[in-house]
Amino acid sequence: MHLYRNAQCVNYTKGLTSGSLCYPLCTDEIVYTECLGHGVKPHVLKANWKGTDVILKVKRQLHDKRVMWHLTDLQPHMMDREYFNINVNLSFINNILNKDLRVAQSVFDYLYAECAGDDGKLTYHEIWYCYTLFESDEFLLSVLLRDYQCVPKLYGVCGNVFVVEYIPVEQLEALPRLIVDERSWAIKAKLGLALLDLVKRLDETPYGTLYLCDIQFTNFGAYKSETSDGYVVKPIDVDIAWLSAQMKEVMNGGAKVNCTLDADCHFVSCLGRCDHKRQKCYPHSYSNNLINICRLIFSTPYSVPKFGLFDSAPPTLQPRLAVLIKKCAMPSVTPWPRTSHIMIEQFRHLLHESIRQNIE
């Protein structure tokens, strides 16, 4: 990271690259502490910024050959907002975001301000870095949903580095293995309530539902709420997450797949179905975020590893909770099922009741 940061900061001091977080990154306000992952995905680094832990994600490669060709043909007078708007906003962001002009404009406005810096002009390096970030669906979601609690908060950019809030995963990951006493059950119940709140937020973005298709304990983090005695839960990895329009494109692509079993049509956690007569997948999803969280987080039979968040519930709660989880975890028989808000309220009632009983 130090070698990469040095090269980035040399460009920054020369005025070749911009971003709201270049100054703190290049003056050691942001201090690298730990490497959390590297490889094909963006490098993931943990850092500390004025006493607060943050996550740095470094998008290092540019894959689109058409973009590389455009960049080799750039001339200095072309590097203004008009050029950027025509060649990036219309021909590139729209393709990624399913030609939704409203969505693309929101991303474009944020990123132009970050990439161009104070002078409003773009250098070759700045356009290159912007393009590399555009290729990351995770980054685009971070920009688009930056005002909602659906994904980790986006703090800013420096070149092809973007910085988001750090959300501890240990709280949620370790809980299912705990021997349950009154205190640990109250924590589990509050985390369950926070997951239900997350499902609601995922359903209510202005751009449609955000579908999480890689549901597992290690892909969620939790922290104490500042406004209640509960928790806030967020996904920490949204590499395999799509808004409604994108999700339909993903499942349409799956319709070309040959199948003999429904499992052949699943897209990681998101459930598909096989048309056994045609031996092709239907172009639909048969699960939603609530179904998938019930299957893979709340319940034991489906969860990986084989621990459910609600294992070893208080004896008075176990029978009713088991029935509700089983009902909730069943794949839908109709395509694109809506979230059952009645079922969410039933969960909330049981969990609040169990917390009150523990207090009493």
Summarised one tens digit per residue, pLDDT across range 276-331 is 999 999 989 999 999 999 999 987 654 444 567 887 788 888 889 989 998 999 88
| Residue 28: burial class (beta carbons within 10 Å; 0-12, 13-18, 19+) | exposed
Spatial separation of the C-alpha atoms in residues 263 and 191, rounded to whole Å: 30
Residue with tokens 């092809």: 160
Phi and psi at 331, nearest 5°, equal -60, 150
Amino acid at 48: N
Residue 93 scores a pLDDT above 80: no
Spatial separation of the C-alpha atoms in residues 126 and 128, rounded to whole Å: 5
Residue 216 scores a pLDDT above 70: yes
* Tokens coding 224: 């104490």
Average pLDDT over residues 140-153: 88
Running DSSP on this structure, what letter comes out for residue 251?
Answer: H
* Tokens coding 58: 């470094």
pLDDT on residue 193: 95
* Tokens coding 257: 């797949």
Running DSSP on this structure, what letter comes out for residue 125?
Answer: H
Residues 6+ apart with CB under 8 A from 56: 1, 30, 32, 43, 44, 45, 46, 47, 161, 162, 163
